[in-house]
Structure 1
Amino acid sequence: MDNRTVVLTGDSLTVEKVAQVAIDGAKVEFAPAAQQELQKSREFVYKLVNDNVPVYGFNTGVGANKDRTVAAEYYNQFNVNMVRSHCVAVGPEAALPEVRAMMVVRLNTLLLGYTGMSPEIAYMYQNLLNKNITPVVPERGSIGEADIACLSHIALTMIGEGEAYYCGKKMPAKEALAKAGLQPLILGPKDGLALVSSNALAAGQGVLVMHELKKLINLADIIYSFSLEAFKGNVSPLDEEINRVRRFQGQNESAAQVRRLLTGSYLWLPNIANALQDPLCFRCACHIHGAVRDSLHYLEELMNIQMNSSDDNPCVLMSQNAIMSCGNFEVVNWAVAFEMLGIALSHLSRAACFRTIKLSTAHFTGLPRFLTPDPEHVIAFGTIQKPLTALDAEIRHLANPVSMDFYAVAGDIEDHASNTPYVVQKTRKIVDNLYYILGIEAIHAAQACDLRPEKEFQLGTAGHTVQQKIREIIPFLAQDRNLTTDIASAYKLLKSGGLLDVLHI
Structure 2
Amino acid sequence: MTRHDPSLVITGHDLDFRDLARAAMGQKPVCVAPSAFAAIAASRDIVETILKENRPAYGITTGVGSQKDFAVDPATAGAYNTRLLAAHATRVPGPTLPPDAVRGALIFLANQFAHGLSGVSPELVQLIVASINSETMPDIDGSGSVGASDLVPNAQLAHWMLGRPQAKKLGLPRSKETLSLINNNAISLAQGAIALASAERLMAAFDLAAAAALEGFRGNLGAISEAANRAHKRQGQRRSALRMRNLLNDSHLWKTGEARLLQDPLSFRCASQVHGAAAEVFSSAAEIWNSELNSVNDNPIIDQETAAAVSNGNMDTTRLTLAADHLRQALGKICDLAGERVHKQQWPAFTGLPTGLAEEGGAVGGVQFLNLGHITASLVTSVKIWARPSLLNSVGQVADGVEDTASHALHAVHDLMRVIDAGWKIAGLELMIAVWAMKRRRLEAVDLGKGIRPAFEILGALLPIGREGDAIFDIAPLISELQSGGLLERTLTEAREKIDLALD
* TM-score after normalising by structure 2: 0.93
Distance 2:244 2:121 in 1: 52
Paired position in structure 1 for 2:53: 51
Paired position in structure 2 for 1:472: 461
Paired position in structure 2 for 1:173: none
Distance 1:19 1:477 in 2: 41
- Conservation of the 8 A alpha-carbon contact between 1:89 and 1:142: no
Matches within 5 A, 1:3-402: 3-90=5-92, 91-160=94-163, 177=164, 183=169, 186-376=172-362, 378-382=364-368, 383-402=371-390
2:61 is paired with a residue of what secondary structure?
A: coil
2:119 is paired with a residue of what secondary structure?
A: coil
Tell me how far 1:45 sits from its aligned partner: 2.0
Distance 1:258 1:491 in 2: 20
Tell me how far 1:185 sits from its aligned partner: 5.2
2:305 is paired with a residue of what secondary structure?
A: helix
Distance 1:2 1:346 in 2: 34
2:309 is paired with a residue of what secondary structure?
A: strand
Tell me how far 1:475 sits from its aligned partner: 4.1
- Conservation of the 8 A alpha-carbon contact between 1:404 and 1:417: no
More off after superposition, 464-473 vs 91-100 = 464-473
- Conservation of the 8 A alpha-carbon contact between 2:4 and 2:27: no
Query: CA separation of 1:415/1:328 partners in 2, compared to 1, >3 Å: closer, same or farther?
Result: same
Distance 2:4 2:379 in 1: 42
Tell me how far 1:369 sits from its aligned partner: 1.1
- Conservation of the 8 A alpha-carbon contact between 2:321 and 2:390: no
2:367 is paired with a residue of what secondary structure?
A: coil
- Conservation of the 8 A alpha-carbon contact between 1:158 and 1:185: no
Paired position in structure 2 for 1:448: 437
Residue identity in the other structure for 1:452: R
Query: CA separation of 1:456/1:297 partners in 2, compared to 1, >3 Å: closer, same or farther?
Result: closer
Query: CA separation of 1:456/1:46 partners in 2, compared to 1, >3 Å: closer, same or farther?
Result: closer
Tell me how far 1:77 sits from its aligned partner: 1.4
- Conservation of the 8 A alpha-carbon contact between 2:238 and 2:276: yes
Residue identity in the other structure for 1:413: V
Tell me how far 1:28 sits from its aligned partner: 1.0
1:29 is paired with a residue of what secondary structure?
A: strand
Residue identity in the other structure for 1:399: A
- Conservation of the 8 A alpha-carbon contact between 1:142 and 1:419: yes
Gaps of 5+ in 1: 161-176
Distance 2:417 2:343 in 1: 25
More off after superposition, 312-321 vs 447-456 = 447-456
Gaps of 5+ in 2: 499-504
1:93 is paired with a residue of what secondary structure?
A: coil
* TM-score after normalising by structure 1: 0.92
2:8 is paired with a residue of what secondary structure?
A: strand
Distance 1:257 1:157 in 2: 45
Paired position in structure 2 for 1:404: 392
1:364-418 CA distance string (max 9 Å, x none)? 1111110001323523222322111111111111111122221110011101011
Distance 2:249 2:135 in 1: 45
Tell me how far 1:455 sits from its aligned partner: 9.6
Tell me how far 1:89 sits from its aligned partner: 4.9
1:26-63 CA distance string (max 9 Å, x none)? 21111122111111110122223333321111111111
Distance 2:225 2:127 in 1: 54
Tell me how far 1:216 sits from its aligned partner: 0.3
Paired position in structure 1 for 2:501: none
Distance 1:53 1:182 in 2: 27
1:7 is paired with a residue of what secondary structure?
A: strand
Distance 1:136 1:289 in 2: 37
Residue identity in the other structure for 2:186: A
Distance 1:302 1:47 in 2: 35
Paired position in structure 2 for 1:166: none
Residue identity in the other structure for 2:414: Q
- Conservation of the 8 A alpha-carbon contact between 2:167 and 2:173: no
Distance 2:401 2:437 in 1: 60
